[in-house]
């Protein structure tokens, strides 16, 4: 290759490197990891919380089975609360434990799950669990939670849309606690209404 060819190749590599820098997601240097459960973390920060390497988190993200993440354009971010909830679902008592029994840490997700459990335990028929709209479930949650400060917390679902978002987020924690969440629609007049059904997995098997 002549000098002109070498120069052209170097220019191409240089431009590719610059492009890669813009596409790659540089991790923040030296900032304290935010403690707000809703804070968005870089991959390196999420991996640090889990005691894993960023590369392992990237592999899990591609293969599946890893922590939930947000894709903001081309940038990947993890919510701190999601990372802690995911760690809780990975707890095992032995290498033969399939994860059926999990001790969930008191994160924001597991706090809401505990209140959902209380709603199920207070149901008129524990076997039937809860079957109603998101608005009805939200009313039940507010009735069970006697802590006014808890209901003022940022993670507490104040609206039905926020509740729907939280239920999607804590799906793994619900399953780890043996709670089955199903969504179905009922026709009421000319319209369909979305209903939520929450039951203990043990009741389904009975």
Place of tokens 């599946």: 64
Q: What is the mean pLDDT of the chain?
A: 75
Contacting residues for 183 by C-beta, under 8 A, at least 6 apart: 194, 195, 196, 197
Tens digits of residue pLDDT in 154-169: 778 889 988 888 888 7
pTM: 0.48
Q: Give the chain's domain count.
A: 2
Residue 159 domain flag: yes
The residue out of 89, 123, 156 marking a domain boundary is: 89
- Asked whether the beta carbons of 118 and 132 are under 8 A apart, the reply is no
The residue out of 45, 62, 89 marking a domain boundary is 89
Give pLDDT, residue 108.
57
User: Using CA atoms, how far apart are residues 69 and 89, in angstroms rounded to an integer?
Assistant: 16
The three-point CA angle 162-165-168 to 5° equals 150
Per residue in 164-187, pLDDT (tens digit) is 888 887 787 788 778 888 988 888
Count of CB atoms situated within 10 Å of the CB of 63 = 8
Nearest to 111 by CA among 198, 169, 49, 34: 169
159 and 121 in one domain? yes
If asked whether residues 76 and 12 sit together in one domain, one would say yes
- Position 183 in a domain: yes
Residues 124 and 164 in one domain: yes
Cβ(37)–Cβ(107) under 8 Å? yes
Which residue range(s) make up the domain with 163? 108-205
3-state secondary structure of 194: strand
Q: Are 176 and 200 in contact (CB under 8 A)?
A: no
């Amino acid at each position: 290759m002549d000098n002109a060819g070498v120069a052209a190749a170097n220019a191409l590599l240089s431009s590719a490197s610059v492009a890669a820098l813009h596409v790659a997601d540089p991790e923040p240097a030296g900032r304290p990891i935010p403690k707000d459960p809703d804070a968005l973390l870089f991959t390196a920060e999420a991996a640090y919380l889990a005691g894993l390497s960023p590369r392992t988190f990237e592999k899990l993200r591609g293969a599946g089975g890893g922590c939930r993440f947000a894709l903001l354009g081309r940038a990947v971010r993890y919510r701190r609360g999601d990372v802690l909830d995911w760690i809780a679902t990975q707890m095992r008592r032995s290498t033969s434990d399939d994860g059926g029994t999990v001790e969930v840490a008191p994160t924001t997700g597991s706090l809401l799950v505990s209140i959902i459990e209380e709603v199920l335990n207070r149901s008129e028929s524990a076997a039937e669990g809860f079957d109603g709209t998101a608005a009805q479930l939200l009313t039940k949650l507010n009735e069970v939670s006697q802590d006014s400060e808890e209901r003022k917390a940022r993670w507490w679902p104040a609206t039905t849309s926020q509740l729907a978002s939280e239920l999607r987020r804590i799906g793994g924690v619900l399953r780890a606690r043996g709670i089955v969440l199903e969504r179905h629609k009922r026709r009421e007049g000319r319209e369909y209404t979305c209903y939520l059904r929450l039951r203990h997995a043990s009741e389904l098997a009975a």
